[in-house]
Amino acid sequence: MRPNILALDTSAGACSVACLRGGHVAVEKHQYLARGHAEAVVPMVASVMADSDLRYDQLDAIAVTIGPGTFTGIRIGLAAARGLALASSRPMVGVTTFEAIAHGVETNKRPVLVVLDARRGQLYAQLFDFMLIPVGPPSVLPVQNIPSLKPSGQYIVAGTGAALARPHLLQAMVSGSDVIFDVGTGHPRAATGARIASNREPRPPTTIRPIYLRAPDAVSPLVFGGGAPRV
């Protein structure tokens, strides 16, 4: 079966929407945004669906990037995807930000270390082997501790935290060609999330949960009910 999937990503510094039609990317819209994801994502979804010439009832699933990333961005993407899924009676697939970035890299059979800027001098990080299978769980750690996750041999570094990790990984090099830094933007793309989702079993929308790894820097009690999210 070649699925039809609508995918959303607002987990970092971009707003990205893509539609997989018959197993192939039919349309993708990707816009870099420091803020304003909530205002941008719904019009982008409408535009992508119109350009793909698909109805919501023709979708097999709605995919969304579930984090880690910015607290607000993750909530916006998940709320939008869940609302669309419930309104159209479609199931959902959650894709981690780490997965979306790792699968968007040309690995040439090398492991990939995905690092995201978590601010406060920290990184969100996860290592994938050469088949893009996670090696251990996602983690949050001080920037200077990132060499503890590097594999042996040559590997690729990708993600929004690559520039922060770079001096520490270079210092920990065994040979001059151990570390290859991906030349991409470091942001996940919805098209990659859609491809990952096409190989997974969709689930009920209410079962898709965000991955924060850390409580938000600031939480408004009026908006979030006075409590930090569970991690």
For the chain, the domains span: 5-97+187-224, 106-181
The highest-level CATH class for domain 5-97+187-224 is: alpha beta
Residue 58 has a CB neighbour count (10 Å cut-off) of 13
Average pLDDT over residues 53-62: 96
Identify the pLDDT of residue 147: 96
- Burial of residue 52 (CB within 10 Å: 0-12, 13-18, 19+) is buried
Predicted pLDDT of residue 176: 65
Tell me what the pLDDT averaged over the chain comes to.
91
Write down the pTM of the prediction: 0.90
**Residue 135, strand partner residues:** 127
Question: Does position 175 have pLDDT exceeding 80, yes or no?
Answer: no
108 φ, ψ (degrees, to nearest 5): 50, 45
User: Looking at residue 217, what is its pLDDT?
Assistant: 60
| Structure-token pair, residue 13 | 């510094």
User: 106-181, what's its fold?
Assistant: Nucleotidyltransferase; domain 5 (3.30.420)
Distance of alpha carbon 194 from the chain centroid: 11
Q: What confidence score (pLDDT) does residue 2 get?
A: 82
Identify which has the larger pLDDT, 163 or 229: 163
pLDDT at 231 over 80: no
| pLDDT value of residue 221 | 45
Name beta bridge partners: 227. none
